[in-house]
Amino acid sequence: MVNKRVATPYDDITYKVLGCAMGVHGEQGPGKRENTYQRSMEARMTAAGVAYVAQKVLEVYDQEVMVGYYIPDFVVADVVIVEIKALSWLDNSHLRQIIGYMAVTGCPIGLLINFGRRSLEYRRIFPPKDITEHRISKQWLVVPDWLK
């Protein structure tokens, strides 16, 4: 069997994050709210010495005009976007969400982690060739009233 896993310079950090996620899922199991997993991930990553910013507010611009904010769950070591879910299934909109975050931050890799199933689900996400097309995803854009 051929290993289809792509090696990257970020494998050590993504491995640590996924190890934390596996520990959280093993302890908490499925069926909790996303914010429960968020807090547990923060505690585990801190204990593991993983440098992260939780729910960093990212300004999103369209032709030099701010149109809103993205708020990813974690930006890890300034190179990995981590988005967590607690759903029974993931779809392409969740991939678009993390790719949009990657487009704004320039992070070269993303992790989409789903705690909502019996087994932990995760995907490593790489940016598409023309990531600029993905900078604005209105579904995931937070637009405060003062900006409307």
Q: What is the pLDDT of residues 86-119, one digit of tens each?
A: 999 999 999 989 999 999 999 999 999 999 999 9
In a domain, 4, yes or no: no
In a domain, 3, yes or no: no
In a domain, 140, yes or no: yes
- Residue of 117, 126, 118, 119 whose CA lies nearest to 90: 117
Residue 21 pLDDT: 98
Domain extent for 94: 11-147
In a domain, 19, yes or no: yes
Q: Give the pTM.
A: 0.87
Banded model confidence at residue 12, pLDDT cuts 50, 70, 90: very high
Structural domain count, the chain: 1
d(CA 57, CA 74): 10
In a domain, 134, yes or no: yes
CATH number at residue 130: 3.90.1570
d(CA 37, CA 105): 23
